[in-house]
Amino acid sequence: MAISLIVGLGNPGPTYALTRHNMGIIFIEKLCQSQHTNLSTETKLNARTSKIIINEKMVRVACPTTFMNISGQSLGKLARYYALAPDEILVVHDELDLEAGQIRFKTGGGHGGHNGLRDIITHLHATEFHRLRIGIGRPAHPRVEVADYVLNRPTLDEEIAIHAAIEQGFNALPEIIACNWPIVMQRLHTFNNRK
């Protein structure tokens, strides 16, 4: 089944707009900019939503207006409102276990300690949704709390690398939407292992 909804995770408001934890929202906002469309607030869905065209197919995009830890409240409403199965949904989120500038695709699995994914699994009652994981790396110093790290802005070098990864994610979207998983995996693997 093809992807019908792409959801970018993060925290709402200008305080968090450029932080590491907001990579999903940054991805969606840049994607909308590239298609010259704007996100509109849908209060009943706790989300900002829009529509884009990929592979001549209309795909909905959304950013929850809830905080990260309760992202599932919004995603559950979106899935029910649009009558979507979990495997029609792609969730874009930050990933501590990937270096800044890496990007990987995954289907199913647990939440890996990511509170946004944990809440989504709770509200969807499923793990079979797809994920596009944007690497932000882990704190370089053990004394830095992960919570503080993700709620701060990346360094300039990290930001450049992350935005290159986001562009690569855009390039892979036609194959993701079409569910051409081997091509997606190969394309992102090649990008992640570039010199």
Residue 195 above 70 pLDDT?
A: no
Catalytic residue among 21, 93, 114, 130: 21
* Structural domains of the chain ordered from first start: 5-192 (3.40.50.1470)
Does the annotation count 21 as an active-site position?
A: yes
pTM metric for this prediction: 0.95
* Per-residue pLDDT, 194: 75
- The pLDDT value recorded for residue 189 is 87
Q: Is the pLDDT of residue 23 over 90?
A: yes
Given a contact cutoff of 8 angstroms between Cβ atoms, the answer to whether 10 and 21 are in contact is: yes
Q: Which helix (H) or strand (E) holds 135?
A: strand 130-135
Report the pLDDT value the prediction gives residue 180, as an integer from 0 to 100. Answer: 94
Residue 1: pLDDT band by 50, 70, 90 thresholds? confident
| DSSP secondary structure letter of residue 87 | G
72-91 residue pLDDT tens: 999 999 999 999 999 999 99
